[in-house]
Structures are given as C-alpha cells and as structure tokens.
Amino acid sequence: MAGKKRVGILALQGAFIEHEQAFNRCGAQSMEIRTPTQLAEVDGLVIPGGESTAIGKLMRQYGLDKAIQDRFAAGMPIWGTCAGMILLAREVADSDQFRLGLMDIRVKRNAFGRQIESFEADLEIAGIGTTRGIFIRAPYVEKTWGEARVLATYEDKIVAVQQGDKLLSTAFHPELTEGGEIHRYFLSLL
C-alpha cells in the first residue's frame, strides 16, 4: 500500500462507516478521523451525512474545526455529503449554526422535507456521469458565487457543487449506493 493515497472520513456522527465501505470497494485506503493527530495522516477528508449541528459541536469540542480549516488551507481536498455540505458552506439560510465556511455556497437545511419524505433519483453529474442520488432530509444550495460551480441539479435545485479542485459537496448520499462514481472522482482530486 506504499504510495496509495489515504482518505480520512470524519467519524464523529453520521454515515461514516458507509463511506469507508464505498472507498474500500474502490480499492482505496481509508481511515476514521476523530482527532487532529489522525487528520494529519490523510491526503483528503470526507465529512459525511448525519446531523450537522451535532457534528459541528463535536468538531469544535475535539479541535477538529481549526485543524480541518488549516489542512484545507495547506491544500487538502474535502468532500461534504448532506450534513457535510452544510458544514462546508459559507452561509446557511435562516441559521447561525457553526460551519467551516470554506465553500462559496448558501445552503438551505432539510430543504426537501422531513425524513419520511426521503427519496431516490437518477442524477447527471457534470464530469462524472449518471449516478443514483439518495436524499434523506437533504439540503440544497440556494446560491453559489466565486469559484463554486454547479455539478448537478434536481428539479432546478442545486444538489452538487465543486469549488476549484479541492472542495466537493453533494446534498445526497452516494455512500448508500453501489456505484462508486463520486468516490472514485474524489480520489482523483487527491
């Protein structure tokens, strides 16, 4: 495994095990991240879906907020899914919750409805191809600016965005599908 890039998956709350399994299916090396010391050992980071307020509080409690911001400033790619999208955003509509503020997007939380209104849809992701999107209390992006560019929409709502070659966010959960297209794409950013 020498020379193989290692992906960190923030493992404080949420769907981190599913991301690990998806990266394993892609042949990648992954590692659960709970401390700044562990974060220093990886080449990229995934912030998974879950409860964004809880993940944000735990990130701050463990000093991971500043560590993640510092590693990003040094060039580490980050991908946020669902709650991870919210935590990457510079702005969260109607909320002053903690966020890393790295991505030039404004996100609306729980924008597709409650958990009972969860759904699946086929999505065309620019530069990646067709993938299945699983939306669970999902956000969407209300606005992009700066270098943020839209990769996918669903019913005219922005559900995937990339900023430069270091930030990726999806409103849906690719880790809950078998495809692996977006996981492989993130690995290419490393």
Task: Kindly report, residue by residue over 9-37, the tens digit of the pLDDT.
Answer: 999 998 899 999 999 999 999 999 999 99
Gap between the Cα atoms of 88 and 98, Å rounded: 10
Structure tokens of 121? 């849809």
Provide the percentage of residues in the chain whose pLDDT is more than 90: 88
| 173-179 mean pLDDT | 90
pLDDT tens, residue by residue, 133-159: 999 989 999 999 999 999 999 999 999
pTM of the model: 0.94
Which spans in 26-120 are helix H? 36-39, 52-61, 64-73, 83-88
Instruction: Give the CA-trace dihedral at 106, 151, 80, 163, to 10 degrees.
Output: -70
Look up 183 and say whether it is catalytic: no
The pLDDT tens digits for 59-87 are 999 999 999 999 999 999 999 999 999 99
For range 113-134, the mean pLDDT: 89
Which domains are seen in the chain, by residue range?
Answer: 6-189 (3.40.50.880)
Active-site residue (options: 20, 82, 117, 147)? 82
String of DSSP letters for 146-170: TTEEEEEEETTEEEEEEETTTEEEE
Please tell me the predicted confidence (pLDDT) of residue 15.
86
Task: Using the predicted structure, report yes or no on whether residue 117 has a pLDDT greater than 80.
Answer: no
Amino acid of residue 117: E
In tens, the pLDDT along 40-60 reads: 999 999 999 999 999 999 999
Q: Is 175 a catalytic residue?
A: yes
| Half-sphere exposure in the Cβ direction for 42 (13 Å, CA) | 28
Q: How confident is the model at residue 114 (pLDDT cuts 50, 70, 90)?
A: confident
Q: What is the mean pLDDT of residues 117-128?
A: 92
User: What is the pLDDT of the chain when averaged over all its residues?
Assistant: 94
Is 82 an active-site residue? yes
130 pLDDT band (50/70/90 cuts)? very high
pLDDT at 116: 72
Cα–Cα distance for residue pair 160/29, rounded to 1 Å = 24
Among the listed residues 18, 19, 20, 173, the single catalytic one is 173
The strand ranges marked E within the chain are 6-10, 29-33, 44-47, 78-81, 89-92, 103-108, 119-125, 129-135, 140-144, 148-154, 157-163, 167-170
| Catalytic one of 18, 19, 20, 175 | 175
What's the pLDDT at 111? 81
Beta bridge partners of 158: 141, 153
Q: Phi-psi region for residue 43, left (φ > 0), alpha (ψ -120 to 50) or beta? A: alpha
